[in-house]
């Protein structure tokens, strides 16, 4: 029989994708700071899914990542996703989103994204939220999986998440 114990804490991460005509980076930061703190930003250059999102959100998309270096319980992942969905609904324009806020949870052993869409590799957490295992930590780095979204396969993003993991390790 295994011994049950509480897992280590982790960091909550946010990915903002927004229509820069109707929304701003400053507004995204204000929204994030209502619930979390911005410990660091990251502005990725490689974003292959922007074409997919531009059908709904328009052609003037900007993206950046934020992370809060305050240690969070894993149980905080579901409420964070529910909050992010409420933000997206609050700022809709004619039934279209002008901001997409993805929530992630960075732990020592893996990186997960929260989603409302079921799929074979996604685990149901409750309240309509699934966990999408995006990276596992293997050797000295996060490693993408066969279902990892194309924009999260980017080496610069993995490098950034590895830096944030090092910060997490130091905090624990």
Section 155-161 average pLDDT: 96
Burial class (CB in 10 A: 0-12, 13-18, 19+), 138: exposed
* pLDDT tens, residue by residue, 116-127: 999 999 999 999
The model's pTM: 0.93
Q: Measure the CA angle with vertex 144, ends 142 and 148; round to 5°.
A: 140
Dig out the tokens for 64 from the structure: 């950046």
Section 122-143 average pLDDT: 98
Residue 7 clears pLDDT 80, i.e. is over it: yes
> Measured between alpha carbons, how far is 35 from 97 in angstroms, rounded to an integer?
20
Outline where the chain has alpha helix (H).
Answer: 25-35, 50-57, 77-90, 155-171
pLDDT band at 148, cuts 50/70/90?
Answer: very high
* pLDDT tens, residue by residue, 47-72: 887 778 888 888 899 999 999 999 99
Q: What is the pLDDT of residue 58?
A: 86
pLDDT above 70: percentage of residues in the chain: 100
Q: Where in the chain are the domains?
A: 10-171
């Amino acid at each position: 029989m295994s011994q049950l114990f509480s897992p280590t804490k982790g960091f909550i991460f946010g990915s903002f994708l927004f229509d820069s005509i109707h929304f701003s980076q400053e507004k995204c930061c204000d929204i994030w700071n209502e619930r979390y703190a911005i410990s660091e930003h990251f502005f990725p250059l490689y974003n292959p899914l922007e074409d997919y999102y531009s059908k709904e959100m328009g052609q003037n998309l900007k993206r950046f990542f934020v992370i809060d270096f305050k240690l969070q319980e894993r149980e905080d992942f579901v409420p964070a996703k529910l909050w992010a969905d409420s933000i997206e609904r609050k700022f809709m324009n004619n039934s279209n989103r002008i901001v997409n806020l993805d929530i992630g949870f960075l732990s020592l052993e893996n990186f997960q994204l929260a989603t409302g869409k079921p799929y074979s590799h996604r685990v149901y957490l409750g309240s309509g939220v699934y966990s999408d295992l995006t990276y596992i930590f293997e050797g000295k780095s996060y490693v993408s999986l066969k279902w990892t979204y194309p924009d999260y396969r980017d080496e610069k993003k993995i490098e950034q998440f590895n830096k944030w993991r090092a910060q997490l390790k130091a905090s624990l």
